[in-house]
Amino acid sequence: MRRPVIAIDGPAGSGKSTVAKLVAQRLGFLYIDTGAMYRALTLKALRIKADLSDEAKLGSLARATEIELKQSGGSLKIYLDGKDVTDQIRTPEVTNNVKYIARTKAVRECMVAIQRKLGEQGGAVMEGRDIGTVVLPNADKKFYIDASFDIRAVRRYEELKDGGAAVTEEGIKKDLKVRDESDFSRAIGPLKKADDAILIDTTDLTIEGVVDKVLSLIKA
């Protein structure tokens, strides 16, 4: 019997990545981080100094690039053309430029095709912005994980500060606002709750609380 496929969408800082990872672990499912795929392509485009406004070039670049997600122990490793770039795709430079890659139609078509293939096998938790609306409209269960702007900014601030980065709350809020604007207003594949997605607001919930809630809804 084909195992279910779960779609999880939501804005940056909502906690969706942590939730998706833990839910996948608890179910023994594959965890598919689609944001990492856009980040990996952004890293490549920056490395080769591609023109980030040239849609045709970015499309060919996407089609000529191999991006793999490999589960290694409890964590996910991201490979770009055969090389591990798990850490390199999290730099501020990549984060600030991913919007140019993510808004490009030809890139999205290529990414969505790969993501659908990954989801087809079932037994997967796929996380992103357009999973329930575009990538897997027939997913067995869909979740939209949200939280207030302020709490998303605080979480991001604490995460970066704990990682040793020199950040301010003001700076984080400015970056988050820019990311939200590009995520919500993108012409193709914008962040949007699917009509049949279950909304979970994590503002006042702990991660464990959200994970338990998602698991019980999947099993229901």
Q: How many CB atoms lie under 10 A from the CB of residue 122?
A: 14
SS3 call for 160: helix
Question: Please, which of residues 70-109 interact with ligand DC by CB under 6 A?
Answer: 98, 102
Which residue of 143, 179, 194, 200 would you call a contact of ligand DC, by CB under 6 A? 179
Asked if 101 and 41 touch (Cβ cutoff 8 Å), the reply is yes
Asked if 10 interacts with ligand DC (CB under 6 A), we say no
Residue 143, phi then psi, degrees to nearest 5: -130, 145
By CB under 6 A, tell whether 128 contacts ligand DC: yes
152 scored as a contact of ligand DC (CB under 6 A): no
Per-position b or e across 144-169, b if 16+ CB within 10 A of its CB: bbbbeeebbbbbbbeebeeeeeebee
Contact letters (x/-) for ligand DC, 28-67, by CB under 6 A?
------xx--xx----------------------------
Count of residues of this chain found to bind ligand DC when the rule CB under 6 A is applied: 13
Cβ neighbour number for residue 80 with a 10 Å cutoff: 22
Note whether 153 binds ligand DC by CB under 6 A: no
Our finding on whether 15 is near ligand DC (CB under 6 A) is no
| Residues at the site binding ligand DC, with contacts judged by CB under 6 A | 12, 34-35, 38-39, 98, 102, 128-130, 179, 183, 189
